[in-house]
């Protein structure tokens, strides 16, 4: 059963008690969590480049440079034991006074989000969301865009005695195929995530991403292999895949492979997905590819600039880190960035669920709202 180790539970409590940034995550299909704690300050910097230090990265939806993210330095790596960063190595003894002081920090029980100066996102009533979708459809029919991804915010109260460690474990047990994550830092706030979508993964074995689009919510026990997809969704997924092909080619990674689109299940939802793989690439090419991928058409729309302008006009700064990306960077030779979907911004009293969907000319506002209701069940099921 997937659960945090005693050392990870204690480290999470100390990080929360001492106001330190931390991230814990469970890879899809894995049994164990990984965890880092930062005893130094988060900073903005490139994800791919020369001499990138191990960290956990988190980037917002809106960025000037898609290869730049907030880095939570991996000063302490926590598994069954604590390992402290000494330059490029991790050792069992502390290298700095801040690392040495970590063991003496008070433990927060239960672990909850720290108060933040970040504003709470504004809730989106059903009528407002359906009107937003209708405006997106109208813009698409006028030829201003091919696809626009609209999102909304659904606030849920948290129990006074909730513990974020327990919620992360519950998510990991409920969704074994998802990337499950709990991250907390001053720049980002606190986020609880169970995302099905890779933005970009790179290590010595190669480069991977996926084109994920379209949503259905079949009845429990339904034969997933027998699902059929309407032309609208097939076309939507094809747009996402087309843009990924263009990004690979423009970044000089022309020797990539692509699987045919097929149905995959993520929690209570099903999507159309095709997978991309390319040979290992140098940091400069990976940085170029990341800039071209983020934000993908799956979370923004096409053309990207027009869709992004519509989103920012409609949603303002509400998205924050929703539909940005997050994940470990340069840890054990792996950088794996996930799209921040099926996610909630956590405050001391509420979980603000962020949900959305891709809008095309044939979209129906009421149906699109129902899709967001189904997507909210991913995080909502454990609250």
Tell me how far apart the alpha carbons of residues 339 and 296 are, in angstroms, rounded to a whole number.
Answer: 9
Helix axes 126-141, 365-380, angle to 10 degrees: 130
Q: Which of 87, 21, 81 is nearest to 57 (CA)?
A: 21
Do residues 274 and 211 touch, judged by C-beta distance below 8 A? Answer: yes
Q: Which of 300, 214, 307 is nearest to 265 (CA)?
A: 214
Q: Tokens standing for 45?
A: 């910097």
Instruction: For residue 321, count other CB atoms closer than 10 A to its CB.
Output: 25
Residue 123 class from Cβ within 10 Å (0-12 exposed, 13-18 middle, 19+ buried)?
middle
pLDDT at position 317 is 87
- For the stretch 297-342, pLDDT in tens is 889 999 999 999 999 999 988 999 999 999 999 999 999 999 999 9
Place of tokens 């189904």: 374
What class is the 6-380 domain?
A: alpha beta
- For residue 343, cis peptide bond before it (omega within 30 degrees of 0): no
pLDDT at position 1 is 63
Block mean pLDDT (10 aa), the chain, length 383: 92 97 96 97 97 97 97 98 94 95 95 92 96 98 95 96 97 93 97 96 97 85 85 84 94 95 85 95 98 93 94 93 98 96 96 94 94 91 88
pLDDT at position 233 is 83
pLDDT at position 266 is 80
Q: Tokens standing for 324?
A: 């940005």
- For residue 274, cis peptide bond before it (omega within 30 degrees of 0): no
Q: Which helix (H) or strand (E) holds 134?
A: helix 126-141
- For the stretch 265-303, pLDDT in tens is 887 788 899 999 999 999 999 999 999 999 988 899 999
pLDDT at position 271 is 87
- For the stretch 249-268, pLDDT in tens is 999 998 999 999 999 888 77
Do residues 184 and 28 touch, judged by C-beta distance below 8 A? Answer: no
């Amino acid at each position: 059963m997937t659960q945090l180790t005693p050392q990870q539970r204690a480290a999470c409590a100390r990080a929360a008690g001492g106001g330190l940034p931390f991230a814990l995550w469970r890879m899809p299909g894995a049994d164990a969590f990984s965890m880092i704690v930062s005893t130094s300050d988060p900073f903005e910097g490139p994800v791919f480049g020369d001499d990138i230090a191990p960290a956990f990265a988190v980037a917002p939806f809106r960025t000037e440079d898609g290869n730049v993210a907030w880095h939570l330095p991996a000063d302490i790596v926590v598994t069954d034991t604590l390992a402290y960063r000494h330059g490029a190595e991790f050792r069992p003894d502390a290298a700095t006074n801040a690392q040495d002081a970590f063991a003496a920090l008070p433990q927060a029980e239960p672990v909850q989000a720290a108060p933040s100066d970040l504003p709470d996102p504004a809730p989106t009533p059903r009528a407002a969301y359906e009107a937003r979708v209708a405006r997106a459809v109208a813009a698409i029919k006028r030829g201003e865009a091919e696809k626009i991804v609209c999102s909304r915010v659904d606030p849920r109260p948290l129990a006074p005695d909730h513990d974020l460690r327990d919620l992360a474990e519950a998510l990991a047990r409920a969704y074994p195929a998802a990337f499950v994550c709990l991250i907390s830092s001053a720049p980002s706030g606190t986020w609880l995530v169970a995302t099905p979508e890779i933005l970009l993964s790179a290590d010595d074995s190669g480069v991977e991403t996926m084109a994920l689009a379209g949503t259905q919510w079949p009845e429990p026990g339904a034969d997933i292999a027998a699902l059929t997809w309407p032309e609208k969704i097939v076309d939507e997924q094809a747009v996402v895949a087309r843009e990924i092909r263009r990004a690979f080619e423009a970044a000089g990674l022309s020797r990539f492979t692509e699987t045919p689109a097929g149905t995959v299940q993520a929690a209570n939802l099903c999507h159309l997905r095709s997978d991309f793989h390319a040979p290992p690439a140098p940091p400069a090419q990976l940085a170029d590819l990341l800039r071209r991928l983020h934000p993908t058409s799956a979370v923004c729309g096409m053309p990207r600039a027009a869709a992004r302008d519509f989103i920012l006009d409609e949603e303002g700064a509400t998205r924050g880190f929703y539909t940005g990306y997050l994940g470990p960077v340069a840890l054990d030779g792996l950088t794996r960035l996930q799209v921040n979907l099926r996610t909630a911004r956590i405050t001391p009293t509420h979980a603000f669920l962020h949900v959305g969907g891709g809008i095309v000319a044939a979209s129906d506002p009421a149906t699109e709202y129902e899709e967001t209701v189904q997507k909210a069940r991913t995080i909502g099921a454990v609250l």
